[in-house]
Amino acid sequence: MELFSHRRYWLCQERLNGESSFNLYRRVVEDIYLMLHASAMRKPIAVLAATVLVVSSISSSVSQAATKNLIPITLPVKPVGTITFANIEQNISEVPAAGYKALQDVYAANAQPKIPLTVLMGPNTVNPSDAKVALGKIAKLWSGFRQPVSYHALVYNFKDKAWALKADAKVPVVVATGGVRGRASMSSVINQCSADNCGSANSGISDAKGSGYGQFQVSSGENGPYQLMGGVFGHEYTHSVQAAQFLGNANVNKPVSKEREKYGLDNSPSGLFQGVLPCWMSEGMANFNGTAVVAPTFDKYIEWRKDAPRSQQTPDFTDFSAKSIQNYLLTNKPPKCLPPAGIYLMGYTIGALVVEALSAIAGPQGAMAVVTLLGRGQNFEQAFKSVYGISWAEAAPILAKVVAAEYAATP
């Protein structure tokens, strides 16, 4: 999923207030969810001028065919360095470097998985980062976990909107299933790209086979570290890997209950993970891992991170004390934390800082292992304890204090 436009969010809220149709409500909720994927720490992406289709392959030998989705680490995980749940509050200043180093160590040690990659680039679209390079890096970080069997990336700007609608309609998984949240939602997101607001992104898996698909809008004139490094590609691809942990789940593409319909959730792999993974972890994993993996140095990572705590604001969350953050971590669960709830935004910020702390303690793979266990049927509290060896009730207050200290340092 990625910074989405507050302006666009509230416009959609106005649409909800002005229309009474349940079907319109559901469609707008789905639209908002997709729009939330323009990453919280980025301003829109930019892309190499191109014209059509770039096909590449992310090389190696990781099998995607396992009937049971594998976890490539031993559980419960052990500390990767000197920081632990017991001492992290005394070492808060060391957390960013430790989290970044743990991720880079895993990236360096991993094999490059072989995943067919197709980048569809708008003929007038210019991007300062290389989508193929960024997608290759994030795929390598998640090597050993189940990943999409293939991945299509549609990259376009406002000038290429008409082109994007035609290209989207020809993507194989869109032809087969309608794409993430259905054909109407996919084309609706493209149509909402405007001359002054075209910066959303979204990604996921909609079929039982595991075909990944992401849309990436590009706005001109925005050249922050997130765009320059290609963080949005890492962010969005991570969402597809989260979805891949639900491939093989017995509920994939089963009929949808009225309760799930009410929140705009389907039973695709993407819909299933969104329905059980806490929103802070969904977006926090994508923002931290997606950016840290493409940052070539710690200094570049910090250049992005320095504005992270305050990059998202919502009237639904204004108290950044440890007590308030702890309550947020313990109580904001899907489906109620999902869009259009404004609290969803805090996943990009608070969530990213929590996932960074978890990486500093146990490496980046632990969080994805939690998602894998959710796909196997555990609930979040069970999965967290299985992975980290500490209950979520014990860990949440510790992590809340770490995050609160970050907010206190960035008023």
Give the pLDDT score at 65. 35
What is the residue range of 300's domain? 6-409
What pLDDT was estimated at residue 82? Answer: 98
Cα–Cα–Cα angle for 37, 299, 289, nearest 5°?
A: 35
Q: Does residue 168 form part of some domain?
A: yes
Chunked into runs of 10 residues, the chain (411 residues) has average pLDDT values of: 35 34 40 45 35 40 52 98 98 98 99 97 90 98 98 96 96 86 72 91 94 92 80 97 97 91 91 97 98 97 88 89 98 93 95 99 99 97 99 99 94 74
Please state at what angle helix 22-35 crosses helix 183-191, rounded to 10 degrees: 60
d(CA 270, CA 337) in angstroms, rounded, equals 16
Cβ neighbours of residue 409 closer than 8 Å, sequence gap 6 or more: none
pLDDT of residue 219: 86
Cα dihedral 406/408/410/411 (nearest 10): 150
Q: Is residue 278 part of a domain?
A: yes
Beta-bridge partner residues of 87 = none
Q: Name the token pair of 202.
A: 């979204």
pLDDT for position 183: 54
Is position 134 within any domain?
A: yes
Number of domains in the chain: 1
Number of CB atoms found within 10 A of residue 111's CB = 12
Residue 1 lies in a domain: no
- Encoding tokens for residue 256? 């949808």
Q: Residue 156 domain-assigned?
A: yes
- pTM attached to this predicted model: 0.85
Per-residue pLDDT at 129: 84
Any domain includes 375 = yes
Strand partners, 97: none
Contacts of 269 (CB under 8 A, 6+ apart): 204, 205, 206, 208, 210, 243, 244, 246, 247, 249, 252
pLDDT at 181: 62
